[in-house]
């Protein structure tokens, strides 16, 4: 599915599109200096990064009030989430976590110029104060077992985790199930036929009980 079709399906406004266009321009300006995304993907930024991130927002409940994006890096999905939330959920408390100070500078600058509400934390994920958030996201950060370990202190009984995964999603789920009970849905990616978005509805220590 094209980037245009994904954004149209979400019903994004002209103002939201302008925010996303500004993000694309800022990425092109900053990327040569601090390598926010792979240079080979810049020519396809709308599909590979913007639309790919936008579809994650489409899986979140409209009632979400707190969202934390782990390892925000070049702003995907975090800055795209912020742009969409400005239109659809302006009260959303969005936190972007990134340990690289230069990338944090980009995230803060882009948030300001895009006119979106974010809190940028220049921290390692392991040092975050525990506490449940409604939504946890992470894109291209780590394999699923590590993601669950990082996310566990930030999750409560109603937390939903949204993790895009590639062709190895099934094997990552199998590996994670050795140590975690996981209840999930796998949504086909609209931008990559070999990828899915894992919607983790429940995860806790201990493998899945079998009858």
Determine the pLDDT at residue 35. Answer: 87
Determine the pLDDT at residue 210. Answer: 47
Is 145 inside any structural domain?
Answer: yes
Is 104 inside any structural domain?
Answer: yes
Binding site annotation covers 126? yes
Beta-carbon contacts of 184 under 8 Å, excluding residues fewer than 6 positions away, are 173, 198, 199, 200, 201
Is 25 inside any structural domain?
Answer: yes
Binding site annotation covers 200? no
CA dist., res. 163 & res. 138, Å (int): 6
Please list the pLDDT of the chain residue by residue as tens digits (211 residues).
899 999 999 999 999 999 999 999 999 999 999 989 888 888 889 999 999 999 999 999 999 999 999 999 999 999 999 999 999 999 999 999 999 999 999 999 999 999 999 999 999 999 999 999 999 999 989 999 999 999 999 999 999 999 999 999 999 999 999 999 999 999 999 999 999 999 999 999 976 554 3
Binding site annotation covers 133? no
Is 210 inside any structural domain?
Answer: no
- pTM check: above 0.85: yes
- On whether the CB atoms of residues 206 and 182 are closer than 8 A, the answer is no
Binding site annotation covers 71? yes
| CATH code of residue 123 | 3.40.50.150
Note down the domain range covering 105. Answer: 3-205
Q: Provide the domain count of the chain.
A: 1
CA dist., res. 136 & res. 162, Å (int): 6
Determine the pLDDT at residue 159. Answer: 98
Binding site annotation covers 139? yes
Is 16 inside any structural domain?
Answer: yes
Is 211 inside any structural domain?
Answer: no
């Amino acid at each position: 599915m094209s980037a245009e079709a994904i954004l149209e399906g979400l019903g994004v406004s002209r103002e939201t599109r302008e925010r996303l266009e500004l993000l694309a321009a800022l990425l092109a300006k900053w990327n040569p200096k601090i390598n926010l995304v792979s240079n080979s993907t810049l020519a396809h930024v709308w599909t590979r990064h913007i639309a790919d991130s936008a579809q994650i927002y489409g899986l979140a409940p409209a009632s979400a009030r707190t969202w934390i994006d782990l390892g925000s890096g070049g702003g995907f999905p975090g800055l795209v989430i912020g742009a969409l939330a400005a239109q659809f959920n302006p009260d959303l408390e969005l936190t972007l976590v990134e340990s690289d100070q230069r990338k944090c500078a980009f995230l803060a600058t882009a948030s300001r110029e895009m006119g979106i509400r974010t809190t940028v934390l220049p921290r390692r994920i392991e040092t975050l104060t525990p506490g449940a958030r409604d939504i946890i996201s992470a894109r291209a950060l780590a394999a699923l077992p590590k993601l669950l370990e990082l996310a566990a202190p930030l999750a409560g009984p109603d937390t939903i985790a949204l993790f895009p995964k590639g062709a190895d999603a099934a094997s990552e789920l199998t590996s994670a199930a050795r140590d975690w009970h996981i209840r999930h849905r796998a949504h086909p990616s609209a931008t990559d036929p070999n990828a899915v978005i894992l919607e983790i509805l429940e995860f806790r220590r201990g493998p899945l009980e079998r009858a």
